[in-house]
Structure 1
């Protein structure tokens, strides 16, 4: 479409029918993106593409490269905004429909011979657009998965010198790596001597999960941190025994409270309940209640 009389003819047709074809193209695309892109933005976007199509069909190699680059940028934007592949592809393929409608309306016989080549040209652009969209969408999904991993493996400060790692769901190799990296970074920042890894939210513990826990504990030990695993429920305890899993000298506790009490004791602290005088009330303490505190 860039050489010979055919290329010049389709370029002339696009130029002659610019307003009706462009307006119809904007209308068709707008039906699928209504409410997510303003009409002004859409018109500016498609007007630029229309001009680049004209120049590319006229033999301008620079315009051809700019056209593909512009379509790639639009496709990446659609992927990030959550548009479907169909909604993205129609932004290109609707140009064919708008031109077909104008040909039928005007009954311009010379245009019919150009439609096949023009259709092939637009199809190539559509395929390139879809490939870019798919690649961008995969990257978006990968980024979201990484963000979810980070959010699902928080490391929180439980006490001075004590951090906790509450785990929920399945513990696999990828997640274990995130847990170790996050934990080690936090240990460097807080200089904590103790870490409580709570698996109350882990549905099941098998040999693979146990190995992942051991790796995390060993990584923390290399940083001089003593680890305690909490959340060992009766069902998990039975599974661990049945599978013959051994945690060695790693301290395990049935609950997070027990684990915290253990590490506080190892830190030279103990939790006591301070009685409140009869009849005394405070803005934060109900009558006849006690107050827990740690003593060194």
Structure 2
């Protein structure tokens, strides 16, 4: 980029900012529910200041140069923040594209020579397109981090250990049981066994859509870990289709207590603890 053009953009930095802000505020997709106009202006001003400063570089295609670090860092921070706030890829992409439109508009106003305008506009397009790619890549990484965190939170919520009776724990499993989730299930269950001193744990799999050899192995590992802690484990929720699948796959669950329902498992746990539940005819009235 020529020195004159670089000085031109620096000179008109405030004008570029205003055009860019107008472009953003007039966009039908503006998310005022996610970011205030003041915060939007603050982000825009910080980025445009760093960008115009680095447009003085002779090699505008090498965005890995040290001089571009401030721009990449600011843009990356904005992309990560927007990913966490819930912006869509399109909305984040428009943030950069509207800046490119503002830069090109100022060049068209200030450069009268057609050849120079074409050459300088081409350079701006290349720079901003590369920055758009960086923004998108960083945004995707941020969104993946959000998804992974939410997945972990959902896994924690969906594997609650319930103390159903003194000495008896129940853990209803809902959804697919994979390796990572099995680890969470075991950690939560073993920790609760230690804290409560329970000697019976019921794993209810009535909410598991299907049981294959891998899921069965995960269940066997959980049962083994529970027994090492001195507690007996009962698997409940064995539906007819699951029983057929287990037999068809040749999975050996003969050394594990299995029951068709959580109620049956709880009744069996009572017998192990030599507890008896009786129904009384009288009802206490408040």
Q: Which residue number corresponds to residue 74 of structure 2?
A: 70
Structure 2: distance between partners of 1:125 and 1:252:
58
Structure 2: distance between partners of 1:47 and 1:217:
59
1:33 maps to 2:30: yes
Q: Name which of 87, 100, 104 aligns with 2:104.
A: 100
Q: Which residue number corresponds to residue 291 of structure 1?
A: none
Q: Name which of 165, 172, 181 aligns with 2:171.
A: 165
Structure 2: distance between partners of 1:206 and 1:19:
64
Matches within 5 A, 1:1-296: 1=1, 6=2, 8-30=3-25, 31=27, 32-35=29-32, 36-59=34-57, 64-106=68-110, 108-109=112-113, 111-276=117-282, 282-283=285-286
Task: Report which stretch shifted further, 34-43 or 146-155.
Answer: 146-155
**Contact residue 56 and residue 64 of structure 1 kept, 8 A:** yes
CA offsets 1:51-104 (integer angstroms, 9 cap, x no match): 111222235987632221111100101111122222212212222211222333
Task: Report which stretch shifted further, 169-178 or 40-49.
Answer: 169-178
Gaps of 5+ in 2: 59-64
Gaps of 5+ in 1: 284-296
Task: Report which stretch shifted further, 99-108 or 24-33.
Answer: 99-108
* TM norm structure 2: 0.87
* TM norm structure 1: 0.84
CA positional deviation for 1:240: 2.9
CA offsets 1:165-198 (integer angstroms, 9 cap, x no match): 1012222223222211221222222221110001
Task: Report which stretch shifted further, 131-140 or 74-83.
Answer: 131-140
Task: Report which stretch shifted further, 250-259 or 200-209.
Answer: 200-209
Instruction: Find runs of 4+ consecutive structure 1 residues off by over 4 angstroms.
Output: 59-63
Query: Across the two proteins, how many residue pairs are aligned to each other?
Result: 275
Identify which of structures 1 and 2 has the higher relative contact order when contacts are C-alpha pairs closer than 8 Å and 6+ apart. 2
SS in 2 for 1:52: helix
Higher Rg: 1
RMSD of aligned C-alpha atoms?
A: 2.3
